[in-house]
Structure 1
Amino acid sequence: MTIRVTLLGTGDTTGTPTVGCDCDTCRAATERGIERSRFSVHVENERTGESLLIDLSPDFRHQFLREDVDLPDVAIITHIHFDHIDGLGNAYRVFDSLPVYAANETDPATGESVADTVRDKYDYLDAVTVEDVTPFESVEVCGLDLTLVPVDHPPLVCYGLVIEDPETDAKLSLSGDTSYDIPERSRDRLRNPDLFLADGIVPASLCEHHPLGGKDHDDDGVPRTFGTKHMTREGALSLAAELDAETTRLVHTAHYYPVDEAFEEPLAVDGEQYRLDGTGVTRLDADTTGSQ
């Protein structure tokens, strides 16, 4: 037994279905009983029984009532956008103790690090303690090796994440919220994952509707970045191929995907669960997308 990964939240800042929206994609999600709530990932070290939570979704309560996973022993914050951090308020009266790991680099846009922002914003939560992490330096968390790597999500600093089992060499990589323009050093650290969770907010065809269009075009002129902050589906898949990921799931996806594309592989939905044992990836949940 090694790493069990549960996708608690696979949607973007509004989720799918989006409140107040009656688009074809939101209606289809409701009809199929499919949800993409705000982003969060639960990672359990089955060997020790400990678990960590990547990002604290505003949908924290709903996610943990819905999924059969334990409350985490520790949490990790990748950046300070509300859909990744505001669920930390759920620590009130729920946790006796919750160490929160976050990067210690100062963000020029805010004048403080992600770790400092967590300290300042949630200083009223006695259960929460903040552990500073230096990017590219691995720390042991729940018996697993954790590394934060800088990615590109202007104007704020944001981090991708690598989690490895030192006993089996199982590896989970997350792109974090990012454009395709990830620094080479970070790409090297993310490389060769068993499971890769990649930000693929919309298909490249929708870049024409963004005020800034798209960028990071491939050799065929397909934009791999939507605007400046997120990868397109095509960009995420291109990155996955470059990193030689064994299994890739696209997360942080928006309800703007056309309905005939919104539930196709490899777009993830909430509740997907995977086991990484160092020899491969096994999907543990039943496929609920209706795409196969």
Structure 2
Amino acid sequence: MKVTFLGTGTSQGVPVIGCSCEVCRSVDYRDKRLRVSVHLQVDGKSIIIDSGPDFRQQVLRERIKTLDALVFTHEHKDHTAGLDDIRAYNFSQNKDIPIFGEQRVLDQLQREFAYIFADYKYPGIPRVELNPIQNEPFKVEGVPFTPIRVLHYKLPVLGFRVGDFTYITDANHINHEEKEKIKGSKVIVLNALRKEPHISHFSLHEAVDLLEELQPEQAYLTHISHLLGQHREVEPQLPDFIHLAYDGLQIEV
């Protein structure tokens, strides 16, 4: 499996509009963070988890020519707002794009992108195939996915395990039963918003503690805000097996 981090930023991205902190002024490319998303190339399939507002820019940057499916963790706009841009793949592949999400997430998409699902189809709109999922294993174009139930404050969100790779974003609590599904993953991606505690995201300290409990071979932190600090300063402070992800980072699992 090849994993590409399309975006590793929080809902505002980094730099933040109007901010002049040292992170937002940084010229280090690793401190430039688009909204969070990840691309999986596995078993010959091209699968993206979440299509935020920067979706078009991300897939152009990574030259992603095909899209076999789109999987959603939850319904917040920084994870869904780019759905309209999949129509380029409709045109090039001449097929509807399967999208996967919990029923309430699909319902939200149908409200926010009502024109996609209207009885009268305006020419050129995105074409999708809805696939409701629950907190039980499912397949995306033949690729097995195991959902991981996490909480984003009080909102239930899904992370996903694909083989030896587990991806979790927008979480601040994972119960014992769900942790058992993660254990044994060689690579874990986990959100770490900032150093200070937050109501709906793991802090850096909380994320590191959880990863030390789960003990993957390698771990990467994502959904990072400008309040975490500069990449070059934070990375050396982490345990050897934990790294800050950055936009464009590619790993093999």
- Do Structure 1 and Structure 2 share a fold, with TM-score over 0.5? yes
1:177 maps to 170
Counterpart amino acid of 1:192?
Answer: G
Distance 1:11 1:149, change over 3 A: same
1:42 Cα offset (Å) = 0.2
1:93 Cα offset (Å) = 4.5
1:147 Cα offset (Å) = 1.9
1:286 maps to none
Per-residue deviation, residues 204-229 of structure 1 (Å, max 9, x unmatched):
xxx3xxxxxxxxxxxxxxxxxx2220
1:16 maps to 14
1:89 Cα offset (Å) = 1.8
Contact 1:64 1:71 in 2 (8 A): no
Contact 2:67 2:89 in 1 (8 A): no
Per-residue deviation, residues 151-179 of structure 1 (Å, max 9, x unmatched):
11124221111112xxxxxx111122110
Per-residue deviation, residues 221-240 of structure 1 (Å, max 9, x unmatched):
xxxxx222000111111111
Contact 1:251 1:267 in 2 (8 A): yes
CA separation in 1, counterparts of 2:111 and 2:12? 25
Report the secondary structure of 2:23's partner residue: helix
Contact 2:193 2:223 in 1 (8 A): yes
Q: Which runs of 4+ in 1 moved over 6 A?
A: none
Contact 1:175 1:198 in 2 (8 A): yes
2:67 maps to 72
Distance 1:75 1:92, change over 3 A: same
Greater shift, 86-95 or 230-239, is seen at 86-95
1:244 Cα offset (Å) = 1.9
Per-residue deviation, residues 56-77 of structure 1 (Å, max 9, x unmatched):
1110111111113333210111
CA separation in 1, counterparts of 2:113 and 2:148? 24
RMSD of aligned Cα (Å): 1.8
1:27 maps to 25
Contact 1:251 1:268 in 2 (8 A): yes
Stretches of structure 2 lacking an aligned partner (at least 5 in a row): 117-125
Contact 1:255 1:262 in 2 (8 A): no
Counterpart amino acid of 1:239?
Answer: L
Q: In proportion to residue count, which structure has more helix?
A: 2
- Given the alignment, which residue of 211, 215, 222 partners 1:240? 211
- Given the alignment, which residue of 103, 107, 116 partners 1:116? 107
Contact 2:66 2:89 in 1 (8 A): no
1:269 Cα offset (Å) = 0.7
TM-score (norm 1): 0.75
Stretches of structure 1 lacking an aligned partner (at least 5 in a row): 105-112, 165-170, 208-225, 277-292
TM-score (norm 2): 0.85
CA separation in 2, counterparts of 1:133 and 1:74? 14
2:250 maps to 273
CA separation in 1, counterparts of 2:66 and 2:13? 22
Residue correspondence of structure 1 range 1-292 to structure 2 within 5 A: 3-28=1-26, 31-34=27-30, 35-45=32-42, 47=43, 49-95=44-90, 96-104=95-103, 113-125=104-116, 126-135=126-135, 137-164=136-163, 171-179=164-172, 181-203=173-195, 207=196, 226-259=197-230, 261-262=233-234, 264=236, 266-276=243-253
Contact 1:16 1:36 in 2 (8 A): yes
Identity fraction in percent: 29
1:263 Cα offset (Å) = 5.5
Contact 2:169 2:223 in 1 (8 A): no
Counterpart amino acid of 1:5?
Answer: V
1:262 Cα offset (Å) = 4.8
Counterpart amino acid of 1:271?
Answer: G
1:249 Cα offset (Å) = 0.5
CA separation in 2, counterparts of 1:93 and 1:176? 27
